Chain A
Amino acid sequence: MGPTTRFLLGRAAQAVLVLWGAATLSFIALQLLPGDPVSTLLGPMVTVTPQVRAQIVQDYQLDRPVLIQYADYLRRLLTGNLGTSYQQELPVRTVIGQQLVPTLQLAACAAVLGAVLAVVAALLTAGRPGPLRRLVEAAELLAVSTPTFWLGILLLTVFSFRWQLFPVAGAAGPDALVLPTVTLAVPMAGLLSQVLRSGLDAALEQPFTLAARARGLSTTAVRARHALRHALIPAITLGGWLFGGLLGGTVLVETVFARPGLGRVAVTAIDAKDMPVVLGVVLVSAAGFVVVNTAVDLLYAAVDPRLRGGRPRT
């Protein structure tokens, strides 16, 4: 068994623990929320007879002790059954499945665009004081501190309402993906580029830079081939964390652009205490984080030869 296989097996074991922990914590949190589960599920504007209430309690077995509900939930989970949404009366697998593809599309596009923007900005400006660098730094600060929903509405106002280059809403085609992707990628790029540049700045002052230049490498080659590798490790850590966050859905962006996505599903479900859906979304995003973290660790090894062969960092 190679070190990578052993590492991945270890990760799988950890993943089970993480998922169990996430499911349990969410279960406890939902139990602690105030309010009777049936009333909360029904929402404010209803007219419901006691018979219907009794039927809901019976159908979802809400009258059982919490511990039994929890044990039963874990038992079903082991068989791969996420349960049925109280609110939508659909299997949770379907509810999440419907929203997973648009969520992944958006997260992946935003992550790629964010990473490309960050690398370009950092490579262009690291170790080069001057007006360009000050401009990029100002743009980064602006990008990081602009609320995403606000940026989204600004983009919509200009590119959709006024110029009508892109559709307002939905997930119908690649067109509809552009504005939400930019909205999510810009703040991400701002953050990553700051981290990357400070890494690059440090690397460019190292003696190996001078050595590489002395061997006749161009400044661009030094930056892209040598310095960048050194600067990438912290950026990958941060990028992985940001990307993992996107996998759980992005409520504000989904709302502004009226996109389907896990974020809105989760918020609606939490409002109604729709336990099976909330737990389903939590499990999916926890699993997403585990996968991303594993990928990040494998990337470390790819980027930094010193980490190969031995145990990858955990």
Chain B
Amino acid sequence: MSIVRLPRILAAATATVLGAGVLAGCSGSSDSAGASAAGPVSGGSLTFAVNQEPSCFDPHVSPADVTAVIQRSVYDSLVYQDSSGSFHPWLATSWNVSANGKVFTFQLRHDVQFTDRTTFNAQAVKTNFDSINAAATKSEYASALFGQYYLGTKVDGQYTVEVDFSRAFTPFLQAASTTYLGIASPKSLTQNASHLCAGGTYSVGSGPFVESARVPGQSVTFTRNPNYGWGPEGSGHSGPAYLSKYTIDFLPDDSTRVGSLTSSQVDAAVIPVTAVKSVEADTQLSYVAHESPGIVYGLQLNQARTPLSDERVRQAVLDASDVPSLVNAVYFGLYKPAWSPLSPSTPGGTYDSALVNSWGNDPTAAVSLLAQAGYTGVDSAGYRTKNGVQLTLHWIYIAESQTDERDTLGQALVAEFKKVGIDLERDVVTEGSYFTDIEKGDYDVLDLSWARGDADILRGFYHSASAAVQGSEDASNTRDPQVDAWLDQADGNVSLAQSAAYYQDVQRWTIQHAVVLPLYVTEYQLGVSKRIHGLQYDVSGGPEFYGAWVA
């Protein structure tokens, strides 16, 4: 997850110059888009710039969002999840879930070949799923998507495969649609086992593009797979991709990346929120944003430590916050304020819209809750005290995580909390101390967001069983049998509507018991040149290049 970062002051100065770069870019370009009403054109190439280079390119190992975006066109999945969250056939032509919800049977396509000319079949699927869950693979995310209940995969004939779970596990279908569970050539998994993280020609799948070259620290290049004929249903076409080639550039510096985009040196780029206005104003570019599904950006409140072990103090935290005003002030209306830990764009009707405007912005209630909790004194600095001890909340964070103007939002929260007498301390720590502090529970507040196209992500955050798994998801230390039961039932053998109802129960509980202060719905923001057509987006907003063409 590490990227090279500029020190904070430098980053601020960089952002200032960014504006200048954008202005210069706007006046410089010449060629005009919009001249193409004709259909897709085969051939041509494009360049897409991202802000981060993953340390490992193997989607079975790497947890990074960017890895999934990069490797999407190399690895096909069994099923395809479109941007609205519905599932379509891909490598599997159909699938069936047993009555008890424990067995998934997939009928596979017969005509699929990996780009190393080996054949795709049931055994290939089994090899992949077993490999993801093998300890030797050291998966940092893919295995967590289905591994806890995975019993094994059975080959039922050459093109029929059965995946067994120890309990009903509905989220598997969505998991199987992600790049993380993309199907690699089994030959590459054994022959390249020690090089899969290096990407490039070591990454071999059956996708519409071949990863033809990687220059570490710079770029990765994809060339068309001419034999491709198994595009996902619902993607509009099924033959080889239109682009003969495309490149992903790694441009970690925001101003460099935005400047490259506005001066037409790249055709599409991930852009920072600070550049949205200028990209929108640029006639050569389209601004494309998708609200990320999954867990919104917010503060997880640590119930395992005083003072937030007291529910009244946690509720005071929520009451003290006027989230919509703060978010609007910081992001000028670009981001939606969040009311639930789950993003409204999470598929399946799982979002609880009843939570909108249901809490917050009640400083009087906050003060009286704090008084009930025993914080009756006020010290010279204006902070509440209990038995002479100041009400202080420690928010630990790594400086580099505060992208997206989160620093500003954090400062605004500090000021907001001070009004009701809560001392919110933002403690910047090194990456090493961050993990040590989390392991020791040495924090009150952690800021997190986590994109995933399925409400099952709530399990990682609020199910007691996630305490055993390393990662910061469990930051609120929620241990509640009722929540566990809802989460277990939600991904068990129930109808979609019933499952959504359980997920809504969980969301309502997290707000009622104030274990999270949701702040804003994160977005995946892109600037895209108008010469690019046919770009599709996955459920998290990541671009898919299979159907893309250039005019």
Contact = CB atoms under 8 A, between A and B. Distances in A.
Nearest to A35: B432
B217 interface: yes
Contacts of A150: 10, 13, 17
Contacts of A56: 138
Interface in A94-120: 95, 98-99, 102
The range of chain A's interface size is 35 or more
B24 interface: yes
A150 B255 CA distance: 11
A47 B144 contact: yes
B354 interface: no
Contact of B250 (A53, A54, A258): A258
Given A52-B143, A254-B217, A42 B4 contact: no
B454 to A, nearest CB: 14
The range of chain B's interface size is 35 or more
Given A44-B401, A258-B250, A33 B432 contact: yes
A306 interface: no
B522 interface: no
B210 to A, nearest CB: 20
Interface in B395-430: 398, 401, 430
B439 interface: yes
Contacts of A272: 2, 55, 431
A36 B2 CA distance: 16
A157 B218 contact: no
B140 to A, nearest CB: 4
A83 interface: no
Contacts of A170: 215, 218-219, 249
B263 A164 contact: yes
Contacts of B14: 149, 153
A40 B435 contact: yes
Interface stretch (B122-130, B324-332, B470-478): B470-478
A163 to B, nearest CB: 7
A205 B116 CA distance: 75
B63 A47 contact: yes
A52 B468 CA distance: 12
A156 B434 contact: no
Contacts of B432: 33-36, 40, 273
Contacts of B20: 157
B432 to A, nearest CB: 2
Interface in B255-276: 255-256, 259-260, 262-263, 265
Contact of B217 (A59, A158, A259): A259
A49 B144 contact: yes
B265 A252 contact: no
Contact of B256 (A40, A43, A158, A169): A169
Interface stretch (B77-85, B194-202, B381-389): B194-202
Interface string A17-51: 00000000000000001111001101111111111
Contact of A52 (B56, B64, B138, B259): B138
A47 B470 CA distance: 6
A164 B4 contact: no
A88 B197 contact: yes
A43 B1 contact: yes
A90 interface: yes
Given A46-B141, A257-B256, A87 B436 contact: no
B469 A44 contact: no
Nearest to A163: B28
Contacts of B252: 255, 258
A142 to B, nearest CB: 16
B6 interface: yes
A267 B53 CA distance: 13
A72 B24 CA distance: 55
A46 B138 CA distance: 11
B265 A52 contact: no
B377 interface: no
A62 to B, nearest CB: 13
A69 interface: no
A268 B3 contact: yes
B256 A35 contact: no
A150 to B, nearest CB: 6
A113 B441 CA distance: 53
B166 interface: no
A149 B251 CA distance: 14
Contact of A35 (B195, B249, B436): B436
A267 B252 CA distance: 13
Contacts of A127: none
Interface string B114-149: 000000000000000000000110111101100100
Nearest to A40: B432
Given A98-B216, A154-B17, A255-B4, A49 B143 contact: yes
Nearest to A91: B194
A175 to B, nearest CB: 12
A265 interface: yes
A168 B2 contact: no
Nearest to A270: B2
A215 interface: no
A261 interface: yes
Given A43-B1, A46-B141, A170-B249, A161 B263 contact: yes
A232 interface: no
Given A40-B431, A50-B468, A168 B251 contact: yes
Nearest to B135: A55
Most chain B beta-carbon contacts within 10 A, residue among A36, A52, A98, A273:
A52
Contacts of B362: none
A87 B1 CA distance: 10
Contacts of B218: 169-171, 258-260
Nearest to B247: A170
B360 interface: no
Given A34-B436, A54-B135, A149-B14, A49 B197 contact: no
A256 B21 CA distance: 13
B253 interface: yes
29 contacts: A34-B436, A35-B432, A40-B431, A43-B63, A45-B450, A47-B470, A48-B140, A49-B143, A50-B470, A52-B138, A52-B143, A87-B55, A88-B197, A156-B256, A157-B20, A157-B24, A161-B25, A168-B256, A169-B249, A170-B218, A171-B218, A255-B4, A255-B6, A258-B249, A258-B252, A258-B256, A267-B4, A268-B4, A271-B431
Given A43-B1, A98-B217, 9 more contacts: A34-B432, A35-B433, A46-B140, A50-B468, A55-B138, A150-B10, A161-B21, A164-B263, A258-B253
Interface of B: 1-6, 10, 13-14, 17, 20-21, 24-25, 27-28, 55-56, 63-64, 135-136, 138-141, 143-144, 147, 194-198, 215-219, 249-253, 255-256, 259-260, 262-263, 265, 398, 401, 430-436, 439, 450, 460, 468-473
Interface of A: 33-36, 39-40, 42-56, 59, 87-90, 95, 98-99, 102, 147, 149-150, 153-154, 156-158, 160-164, 167-171, 251-252, 254-261, 263-265, 267-268, 271-273
CB-CB nearest 3 A-B residue pairs: A35-B432, A260-B217, A43-B1
